[in-house]
Amino acid sequence: MLKIVQLLRSLLLILITAVAQSIQFLRLSLSSRAALSAEVLFLRKQPAFYQERQISPRRLTVAARMGMSCHLRVH
C-alpha cells in the first residue's frame, strides 16, 4: 500500500512539473526578445556561479528530465 501511495505521489509531482514547464515554455515563446535575452544571459552565468562557490548543482528530478527531453524534441 505504501509503494502505491509513493508511486501516485511521484506521478502527481511529474504531472504538476510537466504542466508548469509547459506554461513556462508558452510564456517564454510569447515574451519579448529582450526578456528572453536576459534569461539566456542568466542561464549562461549560472555555471560560473557554481564554479566560483565550488558547489555542485542539484541533480535533475525525473520530471525535469522529462520536460527537457520534450522541450528538445519541440526544437
- Residue among 58, 62, 71 at smallest CA distance from 15: 62
Task: Give the chain's largest Cα–Cα span.
Answer: 50
3-class SS of residue 56: coil
Look up the domain containing 12 and give its range.
Answer: 2-74
Torsion of CA 26, 28, 31, 33, to 10 degrees: -140
Rounded to two decimals, the pTM is 0.48
Phi/psi for 32 (5° steps) reads -70, 160
Number of domains in the chain: 1
Print pLDDT tens along the chain (75 aa).
Answer: 788 999 999 999 999 998 998 898 888 788 788 877 887 888 788 888 878 888 887 787 887 777 777 766 665
